[in-house]
Structure 1
Amino acid sequence: MTSSHFGYHGKILRVNLSNGSITEEVVDISTLQQCLGGTGLGAKYLFEEVKPDVKWNSSDNRIIAFTGPLAGGPTPGSGTISFVTRGPMTNMAGSAQANGFFSAYLKSNGFDGLIIYGTSPDWVYLAIEAGRAELRDARFLQKKDTWETEDILSEQFKSKKASVYSIGVAGENLVKFAALAGDKGHVVAHNGIGAVFGAKKLKGIAVVKDKLLPPFYDRKALVELSRAQFKYSKEVYGGARAKWGTAAHVAALYKSGQLPIKNLSTSVWPHYEKFTGQYIRAHFEHKPKPCWACSLHCKYMKVTEGPYAGFEAEEPEYENLAGFGPLVGNTDPGATVV
């Protein structure tokens, strides 16, 4: 790594699932500059390494994960990880992103990204801790959903902070729209990446937070700018959206006749108040659950009433509430998070 990498360590991990080998690889500065960002870097490597006739479930397909140049730092909104692969929905390239802590924790171990290929002879998961990586037996995790897998692997790391992204039963059985989920509520969903994990018998990836800081050019200036952005976000979004999340849009759109009700067949729906942020906060348990360096602080909630009482998840955004609520005539707000 040189100071000219500006946020990147200039190093990635290559994981060969077929023979279990893991190697470190240097990424040159020109590549980082030309393909700025996780999706750009992932697209470059996928284009160069996966030939046009390679199928999504082939050993030659790649699972590529890359951080962005600001990941691991104090900048609001920098907690995104990008996955790029050839997926089963189209058998073509696709990218998907998720927030949480994965990218920051990966950077803290000295790595900017991962390139995974081959097919494991049996179920494994990738563990990254203290700047080292290894493949571990995951047969005991078969038929576990993503939340169960996250709980089990997090417990193995004891008191250390870990970000776990994994597949559930759908991914194991190669369901073509299967997703990758982690950090209790974040989902990498585009083009069936969960099925690609399943085809490679890779149950998931666990990254433990370490102490290595990204090599920013001027960390002090970046911290100052990030604080200013946090302040600005609080001032701009300090009203209903900050208090109630995007659920604040439900009441406003209903009153203006824009809430999608029963496939847009009517503008009258007496149940809309049950889908507002005020109702959800009053009737369900909740607590702040921000992603890495996030200024908005989404909520983590537990359904406390109805047939789904006890279910825990991230508080739904407006799109979830509207799409699984009024749009389809569902009157139970708890059902929108299941």
Structure 2
Amino acid sequence: MTKIAVLGAGSWGTALANTMAINDVDVQIWSHRADQVEEINQQHTNEKYLPGAQLSPKLQAAADMTTAVKGADLVLVVVPTKAIRTVGEQLAAVLTSLNQQVILAHATKGLEQGTHLRISEMLREVVPAERYSALTVVSGPSHAEDVIKGDLTAVSIGATDKAAAGVLQAALANQHFRPYTNQDLLGSELGGALKNIIALGSGMLIGLGYGVNAQAALLTRGLVEMREVGQKMGAQPETFLGLAGIGDLIVTGMSPNSRNFRAGRALGQGQQLEQVQAEMGMVIEGVNTVKAVYEYSQANHLDLPITTALYRVLYEGADIEKQITSLMTRPLKAED
């Protein structure tokens, strides 16, 4: 029987682990917070991240990473981008002490600031190659709040190793949750990270009082920017037309369950970024990704007008309305 360890008990990590538990998979979730571990084990809830949700009593949590990882065939890392290196280093030490090799998977959507590295690249830098047999990523349109309620969800598992992707696919699949696989790890990761940028912009439009015409225009042109960055980095263009691309972009860019959308909406309503981040209490991945992608575009001479406009608003204090006007009055061109 396959054993899976999920590292990170936020909303998405908990939702994925709970899906596996419902499927009778031997799964254990790790959290560095002892009180959260006790709550999951005793109350079968995770109120901070999934308020009102009842978890499967089969889902067990551990505060000791060694306990969670020992004997696992696959380790799924689901922590914010800024915590990837720290958790990855801990995992490397645990796997080394156990003399254990695993399939290494993640479900984090972001890019590292400064280095512009994807999550799998960060994990490769901190986890020795002999400690994992393959790398995979879960991406696609999937809000944890809906998954935990049993809403119909389809995701994509990207991996160059079909068998490794199949292990995670089998663990997650049920009548409410349908995972597909693809062999474009790079594109799957980029789709999950880049759509957060566009979701911020979509939320800003709604916060400012614009309607669905504006949203549709932004999402469509945003997909063009996502594809351009992806192609520059070596991803397959068709990946951005699938669940990891346009699918994730639609749900993140239009749903109030998306923290990036909600953050953008609050900014459009006049709140300051620091206030928005403090009130949400969760990492807004798109804010950091805007900076990372803007820096990448400048270094690689990519024309990303939406990303640039958002960077100016978030990091240079530019007026949102003026940036929108600037986008709408750019030199006319053919659609690409």
* TM-score, length basis structure 2: 0.28
Name which one, 1 or 2, has greater alpha-carbon Rg.
Answer: 1
* TM-score, length basis structure 1: 0.28
Higher relative contact order (CA 8 A, sep 6+): 1
Q: Give the helix-richer structure, 1 or 2.
A: 2
Q: Give the strand-richer structure, 1 or 2.
A: 1
